[in-house]
Amino acid sequence: MAVIPILGLFALSLRGPARLSAGLSILMEPDGTGVWRDLFAEFEKNHPDIRVRLVEGPPATNTREDMYSTSFLSGAAGYDIVYCDVIWVPKFAAAGWLLDLTSRLSPADRQDLLPVDLRAGSYRGRLYQVPAFTDAGVLYYRKDLVPRPPETFDELERMAREFKTSERWGFLWQGKQYEGLVTVYLEVLWGFGGEWIDSETGKVFLDRPEALHALEFLKRTIGSISPPAVTTYIEEDTRNLFQNGRAVFLRNWPYVWTLMKETPLGAEGRVGMAPVVHAPGRESAATLGGWGFAISRFTRDPEAAWQLVNFLTGPEQLRKVQLRMGRVPSRKSLVPPEFVPVLEAARMRPPIPEYAQASDILQRWLSAALTESATPLRALNEAARETRLLLGEARQ
Partner 1 sequence: MKRKSAALWFLPALVLLSIVVLYPVIRTLALSFFHDSLATGFRAEFAGLANFRRLVFDSRFHSSLLTTTFFTVVSVAVEFLFGLLLALSVDALHGWRSLVRTIFLVPWTLPTAIIAVLWSWIFNDQYGVLNAVLMRMGLVESPVTWLAAPSTAMFAIIAADVWKSFPFVFIILLAGLQNIPQDLYEAIQIDGGGRWASFRYVTWPHLLPFVFVALIFRLVQAFAVFDLVWVMTGGGPGGATETVSIYTYQTYMRYLDLGYGSAMAVTPVAILALLGIALYRLVQMKYEELF
Regarding 207 and contact with partner 1 (CB under 8 A), the answer is: no
The least CB distance from residue 194 to partner 1, in Å, is 23
Regarding 236 and contact with partner 1 (CB under 8 A), the answer is: no
Regarding 62 and contact with partner 1 (CB under 8 A), the answer is: yes
CA dihedral for 111, 115, 121, 122, sign (positive or negative): positive
Radius of gyration of the chain from its Cα atoms, rounded to whole angstroms: 23
Contacts of 156 (CB under 8 A, 6+ apart): 139, 150, 171, 249, 277
How far, in Å, CA of 127 to CA of 105, rounded? 9
The least CB distance from residue 202 to partner 1, in Å, is 11
Phi, psi of 28 (to 5 degrees): -135, 180
Residues contacting partner 1: total by CB under 8 A: 34
The least CB distance from residue 189 to partner 1, in Å, is 20
How many CB atoms are located within 10 Å of the residue 235 CB?
19
How far, in Å, CA of 23 to CA of 305, rounded? 9
DSSP 8-state secondary structure symbol assigned to residue 362: H
Which one of the spans 44-52, 103-111, 335-343, 367-375 is the region binding partner 1 (CB under 8 A)?
Answer: 367-375
**Which of 367, 379, 384, 387 touches partner 1 by CB under 8 A?**
367
Whether the CB-CB separation of 342 and 121 falls below 8 Å is answered with no
Regarding 12 and contact with partner 1 (CB under 8 A), the answer is: no
Regarding 95 and contact with partner 1 (CB under 8 A), the answer is: yes
Strands (E), 178-226: none
The least CB distance from residue 257 to partner 1, in Å, is 29
How far, in Å, CA of 23 to CA of 388, rounded? 44
**Which of 13, 70, 240, 333 touches partner 1 by CB under 8 A?**
70
User: Which residues 266-325 are close enough to bind partner 1 by CB under 8 A?
Assistant: none
Which one of the spans 162-170, 259-267, 293-301, 387-395 is the region binding partner 1 (CB under 8 A)?
Answer: 387-395
How far, in Å, CA of 97 to CA of 237, rounded? 35
How far, in Å, CA of 277 to CA of 184, rounded? 11
The least CB distance from residue 356 to partner 1, in Å, is 5
**H or E element: which one contains 305?**
helix 302-312
The least CB distance from residue 331 to partner 1, in Å, is 31
Which one of the spans 94-102, 114-122, 283-291, 305-313 is the region binding partner 1 (CB under 8 A)?
Answer: 94-102
Q: For residues 25 and 371, which CB has a smaller minimum distance to partner 1 in the complex?
A: 371
Phi, psi of 378 (to 5 degrees): -65, -40
Regarding 65 and contact with partner 1 (CB under 8 A), the answer is: yes
User: Which residues 324-353 are close enough to bind partner 1 by CB under 8 A?
Assistant: 353
**Which of 307, 356, 377, 381 touches partner 1 by CB under 8 A?**
356
Q: What interhelical angle do 179-191 and 355-370 show, nearest 10? A: 80
User: Of 253, 251, 247, which is closest to residue 225 (Cα–Cα)?
Assistant: 247
Which one of the spans 65-73, 120-128, 183-191, 304-312 is the region binding partner 1 (CB under 8 A)?
Answer: 65-73
Regarding 371 and contact with partner 1 (CB under 8 A), the answer is: yes
Angle, vertex CA 18, rays to CA 17 and CA 22, nearest 5: 95
Residues engaged in binding partner 1 (CB under 8 A): 1-3, 6, 62, 65-66, 69-70, 73, 91, 94-96, 176-177, 232, 353-354, 356-357, 360, 364, 367-368, 371, 373, 382, 386, 389, 393-396
